[in-house]
């Protein structure tokens, strides 16, 4: 059974059509939209501030979603993929974003729609990433504009695939 706990009188809100892996942890003031999936060893900790997650978001294995006490909540839009072992902390991610494996997005960042954060990138505090960009490196910098083909071929493909993968686990 996943760890789903209330903290300070606030309980996670998880629609029935979401998939939560057996060893995922979700605590506190966390609200999910529809068709989300929270994978093995993912931790979503809404203990110090709220975390709002849109529709069709996948939070992959080992990812950590947190916020900063009384200062920086975390908001994630629709159709977002948070890659394996990524850290998303006290920031805002708009719709149609791919957060690559092992990347880190720090406090008070804004990641606009139709954007890719490359695997291993570190988006430092207060960075504002404009729509249609690919950011990579440490610290993350814009490397190029995203093409419509890449938006469809990567961002939408991965989000749609994770809805399918979750259905395999919900059948058991």
Omega before residue 96 within 30° of 0, cis: no
In three-state secondary structure terms, 126 is: coil
How many of the other CB atoms lie within 10 Å of CB of 87? 18
- Give me the pLDDT at residue 68, please: 96
Token couple for 123 = 């988006």
- Give me the pLDDT at residue 172, please: 57
Token couple for 21 = 């892996």
Token couple for 56 = 């069709």
pLDDT tens digits, 73-110: 999 999 999 999 999 999 999 999 999 999 999 999 99
Query: What total number of domains does the chain contain?
Result: 1
Lowest mean pLDDT across 78-87, 135-144, 146-155: 146-155
The domain in which residue 143 lies consists of 3-170
Segment 143-156 mean pLDDT:
88
d(CA 143, CA 166): 32
- Give me the pLDDT at residue 12, please: 98
* Four-CA torsion 7, 9, 14, 19, nearest 10 degrees: 30
- Give me the pLDDT at residue 171, please: 67
Which of 50, 78, 61, 47 minimizes the C-alpha distance to 19?
Answer: 61
CATH of the domain at 96: 2.160.10.10
pLDDT tens digits, 54-69: 999 999 999 999 999 9
Strand partners, 75: 52, 92
- Give me the pLDDT at residue 152, please: 80
Segment 121-139 mean pLDDT:
97
- Give me the pLDDT at residue 170, please: 79
pLDDT tens digits, 15-72: 999 999 999 999 999 999 999 999 999 999 999 999 999 999 999 999 999 999 999 9
d(CA 140, CA 77): 21
Q: What is the pTM of this model?
A: 0.96
Cβ contacts of residue 169 below 8 Å, gap of 6+?
A: 19, 21
């Amino acid at each position: 059974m996943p760890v789903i706990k209330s903290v300070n009188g606030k309980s996670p809100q998880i629609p029935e059509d979401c998939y939560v892996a057996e060893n995922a942890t979700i605590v506190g003031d966390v609200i999910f939209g529809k068709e989300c999936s929270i994978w093995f060893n993912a931790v979503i900790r809404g203990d110090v501030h709220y975390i709002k997650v849109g529709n069709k978001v996948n939070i992959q294995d080992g990812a950590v979603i947190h916020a900063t006490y009384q200062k920086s909540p975390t908001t994630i839009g629709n159709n977002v993929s948070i890659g394996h072992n990524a850290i998303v902390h006290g920031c805002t991610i708009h719709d149609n974003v791919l957060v690559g494996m092992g990347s880190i997005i720090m406090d008070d960042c804004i990641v606009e729609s139709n954007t890719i954060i490359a695997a291993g990138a570190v988006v430092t505090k207060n960075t504002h990433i404009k729509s249609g960009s690919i950011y990579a490196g440490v610290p993350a910098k814009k490397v190029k504009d995203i093409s419509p083909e890449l938006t469809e071929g990567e961002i939408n493909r991965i989000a749609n695939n994770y809805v399918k993968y979750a259905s395999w686990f919900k059948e058991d």
